[in-house]
Amino acid sequence: MERVLRDLDNGFWRFCTSYNNRFWLNGYKKGSHDLCQYVGSKLKDDRSSVDITPCYSFRPAVPPRRRHAPGPGAIYDLTFMDTNRPRRYFNYSELLLSTRGSHKNVLHIIMDSMQHTVRVTLPAVLPMDVLKATVDDFLKGCAYALTPSPSTELQVRPRRGKHKTLREMEEQGRIFEQFRAEWPHYVLPPSHPFAFLDSSMPCDFFSTGPCIF
């Protein structure tokens, strides 16, 4: 069994890390991509309270020769964040409730431990009108979900000094896990490998060796 798990490790690691091997969508064909243009039009003149960073990535099964442009096997990866400085915080409960009509279009919704951003991944094979409508829904939902302070139910206050101890960070991670359990599988906590793991971070998921984060 251990040998089988060791054989699976590399493939599972490639599967997870490919999620964060992202490319800037505005660099594709000099920004002429329809979704990139649409995102730019929504943020025109800096009137939006929410900014969007448009990226895309590919699943490992897509051959390198087919990775020149978004298409089958590609994933749009959009990060929504507050345009203000200092940034405000997202109330994830309110955001998820207000956008649940579009959840059928997403692959994953990834939360941020600091509550400053939310990542939404979408399959590139969706029709462009569906992609645009989903962007609109999350842009509106994010704008209404911004608050001046983080959601207290997702935070652990440091007991000693100004910085959280390792135990307090683990406790906060568990709080996010409990919150995530209230939603379907596509809502991911900050501790999920899709949220942070990339190809520069070697990791053994199944073997007895240490996992290096």
How high is the pLDDT of residue 50? 93
pLDDT digits (tens, 9 = 90+) for 113-164: 999 999 999 999 999 999 999 999 999 999 999 999 988 888 766 555 566 6
How high is the pLDDT of residue 126? 93
User: Stretch 9-23: mean pLDDT, rounded?
Assistant: 81
Average pLDDT of every residue of the chain: 83
Identify the DSSP state of 152: G
What span, in angstroms and rounded, lies between the C-alpha atoms of 41 and 28? 17
What does the block give as tokens for 192? 């999920």
Task: Specify the range with the lowest mean pLDDT, choosing from 85-89, 157-161, 168-172.
Answer: 157-161
Task: Output the pTM of the full model.
Answer: 0.84
pLDDT grade, residue 205 (50/70/90)? low
Q: Which of 4, 122, 1 is nearest to 54 (CA)?
A: 122
How high is the pLDDT of residue 163? 64
Contact predicate 201/17, CB 8 Å: yes
Residues in a beta bridge with 77: 55, 121
Q: Which of 22, 186, 17, 202 is nearest to 104 (CA)?
A: 186
Using DSSP, state whether 160 is helix, strand or coil. Answer: coil
Higher pLDDT, 32 or 45: 45
How high is the pLDDT of residue 31? 44
The angle subtended at Cα 169 by Cα 189 and Cα 212, nearest 5°, is 75
Q: How far is CA 150 from CA 52, 87, 157, 166, in A?
A: 20, 11, 11, 20
Q: Which of 92, 79, 185, 94 is nearest to 135 (CA)?
A: 79
What span, in angstroms and rounded, lies between the C-alpha atoms of 39 and 193? 27
